[in-house]
Amino acid sequence: MDQESFDRLLRWLGPDREPAEKKYLDIRLRLIRILVRWGCYEAEDLADETFDRVAKKPSEFQETFVGNPAVYFYAVAKKVFLEWLRRPRPNPSPVPAPDPPDLLELYDNCLTTCLDRRSPADRQLILDYFKEEGRTKIEAHNSMAEKLRISVKALRTRAHRIKRTVKECVLKCIGSEKD
């Protein structure tokens, strides 16, 4: 929507610009909420499309319209939503089939073997490093670094190196076991 159309739309919503802008934002927010309730995951885009369509109406329409403009926006939004429902949607990508149990068991066996090849200190470090989640994870990393008397950055580097070597070992193990 160009500036001239937007200004004309605001004049239709109210004679004073500030209250008209507030009314515009209120209507837009209500449209988005309604569209979300209807199951639209592109609610903001459809609300904008609704305003664009109403703004394209000739100025004579806005001058002769009687009633609350918000009601007209809701009616247009309903039409826009119904059109959106008829639009073709891209097919969702198929969900990959889960790994067969024997393959999962192979991964588990290879991971255990590769971790056993590491020193006890490295094995414990990597297991502890990936044990927690969220805020607890950060606190655990800080505690681990403090116990080892190294910085958190040095801990991260050490864990990354151990993880990389274990991953390489697991991939080799799986490759040799599958053959």
**pLDDT tens track for 18-34:** 998 999 999 999 999 99
Q: How far is CA 24 from CA 29, 50, 68, 79, 125, in A?
A: 9, 12, 12, 19, 57
Q: Which two tokens stand for residue 153?
A: 């950055």
| pLDDT digits 0-9 by tens, 48-70 | 999 999 888 877 777 787 888 88
- Location of structure tokens 């500036």: 3
Domain 101-178 has CATH 3.30.70: no
pLDDT tens sequence across 97-126: 655 667 778 888 899 999 999 999 999 999
pTM above 0.75? no
pLDDT value at position 4? 83
pLDDT in tens, 150-173: 998 999 999 999 999 999 998 888
- Delimit the domains of the chain by residue range: 3-86, 101-178
Of 141, 143, 138, 136, which Cα lies nearest the Cα of 126? 141
Looking at residue 63, its pLDDT comes to 75
Q: How far apart are CA 84 and CA 37, in angstroms?
A: 15
Predicted local confidence at residue 26, as pLDDT: 93
CA atoms within 13 A of residue 165's CA, in its CB half-sphere: 15
pLDDT of residue 154: 92
Q: Give residue 61's pLDDT.
A: 74
